[in-house]
Structure 1
Amino acid sequence: MINQLKRITLGAAVTAAVLALSACSTVGSDFKAPQNVADAAFRHLPQGAASDARLPAQWWTVFGDEKLNALEQQALRDNPSVKIAAERIVQAEAQLGLARANQQPSLSVNAGVSNTRTSANTSQGIALGGRSISGNNFSVGSAFSYELDLLGRVRRAVEAADAQALSAQADRDGVLLLLSSQVATTYWQLRGLDAEMAILRGALETRRETEELVNARFNAGLSNELDTSRARIERANAQADLEEVQRQRNQLEHGLAVLLGASPSSTVLQAAQAATLPQPPSIPVGLPASVLSHRPDLASSVAQLRAANAQIGVAEGAFYPSLSLTGNFGFASESLGDVLKSGSRAFSFGPLALSLPVFDGGRNKANLALAKSRYEEALANHQSKLLTALREVEDSLSDVQQRQQQAQVQSVSREAAERAYLVARARYERGLSTYLDVTDAQRSALAADRAGIQISTQRLLASVAVARSLGAGWQ
Structure 2
Amino acid sequence: MTKQFQRMTLGAAVAAAVLALSGCATVGSDFKAPANVSETSFRHAPQGAASGARLPAQWWTVFGDETLNRLEQQALRDNPSVRIAAQRIVQAEAQLGLARASQQPSVNVNAGISNARTSANTSQGLALGGRSISGNNFSAGAAFSYELDLLGRVRRAVEAADAQALAAQSDRDGVLLLLSSQVATAYWQLRGLDAEMAILRGALDTRRETEELVNARFNAGLSNELDTSRAKIERANAEADLEEVQRQRNQLEHGLAVLLGALPTTTVLPAVAEAKLPQPPAIPVGVPATVLGHRPDIASSVAQLRAANANVGVAEGAFYPSLSLTGNFGFASESLGDLLKSGSRAFSFGPLALSLPVLDGGRNQANLNIAKSRYEEALANHQSKLLTALREVEDSLSDVQQRQQQAQVQSASREAAERAYLVARARYERGLSTYLDVTDAQRSALAADRAGVQIGTQRLLASVAVARSLGAGWSAN
TM-score normalised over the length of structure 2 = 0.99
Partner secondary structure for residue 27 of structure 1: coil
Q: Residues of 1 paired with 2:7 and 2:53: CA distance?
A: 65
1:21 matched to which residue of 2?
Answer: 21
50-59 vs 455-464, which moves further: 50-59
- Please state how far the C-alpha of 1:122 moved relative to its aligned partner: 1.6
Report how far residue 421 of structure 1 moved: 0.5
Which segments of 5 or more consecutive residues in structure 2 lack a partner in the other structure? none
Q: Which amino acid aligns with 1:331?
A: F
CA distance in 2, matches of 1:268, 1:327: 66
Q: Give 1:288's aligned residue.
A: 288
SS at match of 1:340: coil
* Pairwise CA distance, 1:368: 0.4
Report the equivalent of 1:62. 62
SS at match of 2:320: coil
Aligned residue in 2 for 1:142: 142
Q: Which residue of 2 aligns with 1:380?
A: 380
In the TM superposition, what whole-angstrom CA distance separates every residue of 1:17-70 from its partner, at most 9, and x where no partner exists?
000000000000000000121141100110111111311111111111111111
Specify the alignment match of 1:71 in structure 2. Answer: 71
SS in 1 for 2:340: coil
Q: Is the 8 A contact 2:121 2:130 kept in 1?
A: yes
Alignment correspondent of 2:359 = 359
Across the two proteins, how many residue pairs are aligned to each other? 475
2:333 matched residue in structure 1: 333
Alpha-carbon distance in 1 for matches of 2:49, 2:315: 49
Contact 2:291 2:390 in 1 (8 A): no
Contact 1:292 1:389 in 2 (8 A): no
Q: Is the 1:316–1:368 contact (alpha carbons within 8 Å) kept by the matching residues of 2?
A: yes
Looking at structure 1, the residues matched to 247 and 131 of structure 2 have their Cα atoms a distance apart, in angstroms, of: 97
Alignment-mate amino acid for residue 132 of structure 1: S
2:291 and 2:389 in contact (8 A); partners too: no
Instruction: Provide Cα deviations, 1:75-103, integer angstroms capped at 9, x if missing partner.
Output: 11111111111111111000000000000
Q: Which moved more, 1:129-138 or 1:458-467?
A: 129-138
Q: Distance between the aligned counterparts of 1:160 and 1:294, measured in 2?
A: 23
For 2:20, the aligned partner's letter is: A
SS across alignment from 1:358: coil
Does residue 186 in structure 1 map to residue 164 in structure 2? no
Report the alpha carbon displacement of residue 404 of structure 1 after superposing the two structures with TM: 0.4
Deviation, structure 1 residue 292: 3.5
Shift of 1:134: 0.8
Instruction: Write out per-residue CA displacement over residues 211-268 of structure 1, whole angstroms, 9 at most, x where no aligned residue.
Output: 0001001111111111111110100000000000000000000110111111111234
**Partner of residue 34, structure 1:** 34
In the alignment, the residues of structure 1 paired with residue 160 and residue 292 of structure 2 have an alpha-carbon distance, to the nearest angstrom, of 24
Partner of residue 200, structure 1: 200
In the alignment, the residues of structure 2 paired with residue 290 and residue 386 of structure 1 have an alpha-carbon distance, to the nearest angstrom, of 11
Residue 357 of structure 1 aligns to a residue in which SS? coil
Amino acid at match of 2:376: E
Contact map agreement 1:325 1:350 (CA 8 A) in 2: yes
Q: SS of 1:383's equivalent? A: helix
Q: 1:293: how far off?
A: 2.3
State the identity %: 88
What residue is the counterpart of 2:460 in the other structure?
460
Matches within 5 A, 1:388-427: 388-427=388-427
In 2: Cα distance, 1:106 partner to 1:140 partner? 17
Hey, what does 2:106 align to over in structure 1? 106
| 2:231 aligned residue | 231
Which residue is 2:320 aligned to?
Answer: 320
Shift of 1:474: 3.1
How big is each residue's C-alpha offset from its partner over 1:406-447, in whole Å with a ceiling of 9 and x where there is no partner? 001100000010011111111111111111110111000000
What is the 5 A alignment of 1:146-185?
146-185=146-185
> Counterparts of 2:267 and 2:384 in 1: how far apart (Å)?
39
State how far apart, in whole Å, the 2-side matches of 1:207 and 1:252 are.
28
* Letter of the 2:117 counterpart: R
Secondary structure of residue in 2 paired with 1:386:
helix
Distance 1:165 1:153 in 2: 19
TM superposition shift of 1:118: 1.1
Other-structure match for 2:271: 271
| Structure 1 unpaired stretches of 5+ | none
Alignment deviations for residues 317-347 of structure 1 (CA, whole Å, 9 cap, x no partner): 0000000000000000111011001111000
Name 1:429's counterpart in structure 2: 429
Amino acid at match of 1:2: T
For residues 473 and 222 of structure 1, the distance between their equivalents in structure 2, rounded to whole angstroms, comes to: 65
Given that residues 256 and 268 in structure 2 are in contact (C-alpha distance below 8 angstroms), is that contact kept between their aligned partners in structure 1?
Answer: no
> How much does 1:288 deviate?
1.1
Q: CA RMSD, aligned part only? A: 0.8
Residues 184 and 464, structure 1, Cα contact 8 Å, conserved in 2: yes
Separation (CA, whole Å) in 1 of partners of 2:281 and 2:268: 27
AA aligned opposite 1:69: N
